[in-house]
Amino acid sequence: MYRRLSAVLFPVFTLLCIGSLYWGYQEHQEKNSILIKAENQYQRAFHDLSYHVDQLHRELGNTLAVNSTSQGFHRKGLVNVWRLTSQAQNEINQLPLTLLPFSKTEEFLSKISNFSYKTSVRDLSKQPLSPNEFKMLKTLYADSHDISKSLNGVQDKVIANNLRWMDVEIALASEKSPNDNTIIDGFKTVDKKVSEYPEINWGPSVASMYQKRTIKMLAGQKSTPEEIRKAAAKFLKLDAAQAKEIRVVENGHGTEYASYSATYLGNKNDNPIEMDYTQKGAQLIWFQNPRDIGKPVLSLKEAKRKASDFLARHGYPTMKAITYDESDTTAVFTFVTNQNGVLIYPDKLTVKIARDNGDTVSIRAADYVFEHRKRKLPKPKLMSADAKAALNPDFKVSREQMAVIDNDLGEEVLCYEFIGKINGAVYKIYVNAETGLEESIEQLPE
């Protein structure tokens, strides 16, 4: 009997063993194929990075080599610098450097990119490169040579020793593995050199992009947790007994980003109401009431009126809705300040309305908190008709409005905002009220 059983089972087990070995071989082949593909992508990104940083150095040299009055060539050179730094940043993002401190080099390239773009888009015939900007370009030329030389050194070692980027990924991901990989050491050396460069004066337009919003920018006295509790209770229309159920926690104690979080635990549903306030001035940054929302009964127009009424009641009296986004249960409106008939776009907030009863269930007001102020608005040098002359003749204007926007240089400019249709689509076009140049264009949903 055992002989018969073994005669039947032996071929079966043999087939199973052969099948498992074949399956394992196939899995191994597929895994190797994926690893080879990933390694090739890493190698390509790294060698492209080295090449583009070298080209960046050359392009900076070319820009400096021409006459100081050659604005056309300066613009061309700066556009190429912007293109090359953007490519280098993209290639860095393709490398497994997430766990590796390479932030100083990335920030350095980011600032070069932003400086070259913002400088190239301005009218260099009216505002040519300044002596300080030429000095900066010379510094960048020297620094980029240093970075290029270091990357070329790493590249030589990678080629000479057949180093693999997959080993870098494994070394960075493994806590037990010491970070003595040649490639890792090379990138650490580059980043350390960049961190030791003297501080560069990038100018106000670039510096503003990296300006951090801190409590130093805010007016008012430092608030106590009890004052925040009272502010939250007033916002939520709670009585004294209910206010005791608000828990206040300080965030970032002793730092420039200190704020307070207020949580109302007495909400009937399982999700508490959350609010964030600035430490100075006790201004509301964020509000969220994550309640379940029932069947919608309000129209979009009614929801917009509810949002406007809510803002007026809570100390935002001069706001105007400019955009909306709706779902089955909610409607989200973006409001900007309306100062004497001029829309102030940097000064904005968003409000989410529940369409079952019109309650406000969310506010995002960080931009309003840090940008809200009374502005001294210039008088437009151009009449509306003159500004409209800059538009495409086929653009059919349906509405116009004065507005303040941030231009490509990060500066606030007064513009005519024209809303209309062309090519079957709706657009907002902003024309500078002083120069008549088109500053920005935005396509809108129907």
Residue type, 159: I
Note whether 142 and 188 are same-domain residues: yes
Residue type, 177: S
> Residue 122's pLDDT is what?
80
Number of folded domains that form the chain: 3
Question: Mapping DSSP to helix (H, G, I), strand (E, B) and coil, where does residue 125 land?
Answer: coil
Domain membership flag for residue 3? no
Note whether 150 and 243 are same-domain residues: no
**pLDDT band (50, 70, 90) for residue 432:** very high
Which tokens sit at 244?
A: 């005791």
**pLDDT band (50, 70, 90) for residue 21:** low
Note whether 365 and 393 are same-domain residues: no
Q: What angle do CA 85, 87, 89 make, to 5 degrees?
A: 70
Does the pLDDT at position 26 exceed 70? no
Using a cut of 0.85, tell me whether the model's pTM lies above it: no
371, 393, 415 - which closes a domain: 371
Domain membership flag for residue 313? yes
pLDDT in tens, 43-58: 888 888 888 989 998 9
| Mean model confidence pLDDT for the chain | 82
Q: What is the average pLDDT across 11-39?
A: 60
Residue pair 172/99 in contact (Cβ under 8 Å)? The answer is yes
Note whether 130 and 240 are same-domain residues: no
340, 371, 402 - which closes a domain: 371
Domain membership flag for residue 5? no
Domain membership flag for residue 306? yes
Domain containing 276 equals 225-371
Contacts 24+ apart (CB under 8 A), 294-299: 294/329, 294/356, 294/357, 295/356, 296/328, 296/329, 296/355, 296/356, 297/355, 297/356, 297/357, 298/331, 298/353, 298/355, 298/356, 298/357, 298/358
147, 181, 209 - which closes a domain: 209
- Mean pLDDT is highest, among 103-112, 179-188, 268-277, 285-294, for 285-294
Note whether 48 and 150 are same-domain residues: yes
Note whether 173 and 233 are same-domain residues: no
> Within 13 Å and on the Cβ side, how many CA atoms surround 225?
11
Task: Report the range of poorest mean pLDDT among 178-187, 260-269, 379-388.
Answer: 178-187
Note whether 81 and 204 are same-domain residues: yes
pLDDT in tens, 310-354: 999 998 888 999 988 888 889 999 999 999 999 999 999 999 999
**pLDDT band (50, 70, 90) for residue 381:** very high
Domain membership flag for residue 327? yes
Domain membership flag for residue 6? no
Note whether 263 and 188 are same-domain residues: no
Note whether 190 and 241 are same-domain residues: no
